Amino acid sequence: MLRVTHHADISLRINGADHALSLDTRTTLLDALREHLGLTGSKKGCDAGQCGACTVLVDGRRANACLLLAVAVDGREITTVEGLAAGEELHPLQAAFIEHDAFQCGYCTPGQICSAVGMIAEAREGWPSGAADDLLAYPVLDDGEIRERMSGNLCRCGAYANLVPAIAEVAR
């Protein structure tokens, strides 16, 4: 049986550093991050884009890394949870998650934090959500709006009661 493999040479800018990789064209961004670059902050939860544990930022926008092929993000800016802190100084959302005890097992936390960073940026740009009464009004990030906008990130432990106040503290 003839087995054909296809590799591509790509360049990813991850957390401010350039990485040249030669990958099978079927490699997901999540697998490239975890298996080829040793960046294990993004988690493989469902591997089907339903849980959000793998959420990263691609050019500042939220994305499920398990659904993206690495070749599709060639040359784009990727930010993982490892790239949010400024040296030893935590990102405000990381600090708020600690302050509000917004995690239990912590498995979903990197995806929750990256998603929250992207969500706050979307709201500040005026993107409406399914919870908005007026799609043309500037969004107000009340608790209901935060829950709606974060609904793509699941927490198996049910730490939502602490997640929302942590995000709200930074968003407001």
**Per CATH, which fold does 92-171 belong to?**
DNA polymerase; domain 1 (1.10.150)
Domain range 7-80, its CATH number among 3.40.50.10800, 3.40.50.11540, 3.10.20.30, 3.40.50.2000: 3.10.20.30
What integer pLDDT is reported at residue 1 of this predicted model?
Answer: 66
What integer pLDDT is reported at residue 2 of this predicted model?
Answer: 63
Q: Which residues pair with 28 in a beta bridge?
A: 69
What integer pLDDT is reported at residue 4 of this predicted model?
Answer: 63
What integer pLDDT is reported at residue 92 of this predicted model?
Answer: 97
What integer pLDDT is reported at residue 67 of this predicted model?
Answer: 97
Cβ count near 62 (within 10 Å): 22
What integer pLDDT is reported at residue 75 of this predicted model?
Answer: 94
Determine contact, residues 85/46, Cβ cutoff 8 Å. no
Report strand pairing: 61-64 vs 7-14.
unpaired
What integer pLDDT is reported at residue 103 of this predicted model?
Answer: 87
The burial class, CB within 10 Å (0-12 / 13-18 / 19+), for 56 is buried
- Average pLDDT along the chain, 172 residues, taken 10 residues at a time: 80 97 97 97 95 97 98 97 95 97 92 98 91 82 94 90 95 90
Side by side, the strands of the sheet bearing 61-64 are 17-24, 7-14, 77-79, 55-58, 61-64
What integer pLDDT is reported at residue 89 of this predicted model?
Answer: 96
Q: How far is CA 142 from CA 17, 96, 122, 131, 171, in A?
A: 36, 17, 14, 10, 9
pTM: 0.93
